Amino acid sequence: MFGNYLIGLREGLEASLVVCILIAYLVKTDRRDALKPIWIGIGVAIALALGFGCALEFGSQEMTFKAQEALGGSLSIVAVCLVTWMVFWMRRTARHLKKELHGKLDAALAMGTGALVATAFLAVGREGLETALFVWASVHAASDGTPRPLIGVALGLATAVLLGWLFYRGALKINLAKFFTWTGGMLVVVAAGVLAYGVHDLQEASWIPGLTNLAFDISNTIDPSSWYGTLLKGVFNFQPDPTVLQVTVWALYLVPTLAIFLAPVGFASGKGKVKGPDEQGAQGSPGSRGSQPTKAS
């Protein structure tokens, strides 16, 4: 349940922050007349995300068992790829998100109502579709016949909405870069479990061999129906009898991805950083600070 709560919180907070930044900018610049198109775009984006989630859930129920497993496994892998890209992107751009959105909104204001609707729709819609896909894949992987995974997601989304409102009201100020780094790291751990379960689904669909080649089986030691078994399943998508391929894929994804993600921002690219004018001037000779380039005659 905690893993699904984390997904709802992490993904929902991104969308909430986008909405808060857009609305706060319009209010501060006295453009309240543009709020209605923004809310229309946000509403359409939320409806699309919900529709996408419903299509995944109810559409998969009409399939055969192997087709369900093939779909679930494939979408789990796609979801992990999208979420991995998203956590890296958000970690790098969290400091500049407000400036980027303000620039897009200024351009949309100049173009008219349709552009405002499109801006809000695209800003929130991408987050909504990613959230719907990853939540569906995670719930599918962690489902134990109870509504706990969905309750966890709902609580996470509710917390995200509350935090977004507090940000807007100015009652809550935290370091967003650090917040997204820590929650992103935890989400990478959750994604590793979803990826391993997706591989297991593809093995059950006979798309990948090795279903009977178990890495270990500790079902007698860790009862999946016990409280600690349920906790491990909900947080890490732990399986007491994984296949060799599942364990291999889990380790090959988690270890390097987490190491790169937790490395300092700009890791392996520091030498190629483009220096600003101030930095370039600071590195020049003292006598060249006030000099001007000479024009060729």
> How far is it, in rounded angstroms, from Cα 285 to Cα 263?
34
Residue 22: closest CA among 98, 126, 127: 98
- One-letter amino acid at 85 equals W
Instruction: Dig out the tokens for 85 from the structure.
Output: 């890209």
* Residue 225 confidence (pLDDT): 66
Say yes or no to pLDDT of 290 above 50. no
Query: Rounded mean pLDDT of 177-191?
Result: 77
What is the CB neighbour count within 10 angstroms for residue 103? 10
Query: DSSP 3-state assignment of 243?
Result: strand
Q: pLDDT-based confidence at 42, cuts 50/70/90?
A: confident
> How far is it, in rounded angstroms, from Cα 72 to Cα 170?
41
Residue 266: closest CA among 88, 86, 82: 88
Q: Is the dihedral of CA 193, 56, 181, 88 positive or negative?
A: positive
Say yes or no to pLDDT of 101 above 50. yes
Q: Which residues pair with 214 in a beta bridge?
A: 243
| Residue 241 or residue 233, greater confidence | 241
What is the CB neighbour count within 10 angstroms for residue 219? 12
Query: Rounded mean pLDDT of 210-228?
Result: 79
- One-letter amino acid at 280 equals Q
Burial grade of 24 (CB within 10 A; 0-12, 13-18, 19 or more): middle
Q: Lowest-pLDDT range, 2-16, 25-39, 195-209?
A: 2-16
Residue 117: closest CA among 94, 109, 189, 182: 109
E-only strand ranges, 111-270 = none
Q: What is the pLDDT of residues 105-156, one digit of tens each?
A: 777 777 777 777 787 787 777 777 777 777 777 666 665 556 666 777 788 8
- Residue 89 CA neighbour count, 13 Å, CB half: 10
Q: What's the chain's average pLDDT?
A: 74
Query: Rounded mean pLDDT of 99-106?
Result: 72
What is the CB neighbour count within 10 angstroms for residue 52? 17
Residue 91: closest CA among 191, 16, 177, 190: 177
Query: DSSP 3-state assignment of 211?
Result: coil
- Say what the pTM is: 0.61
Residues in the chain: 297
Q: What is the pLDDT of residues 270-286, one digit of tens each?
A: 444 444 444 444 444 44
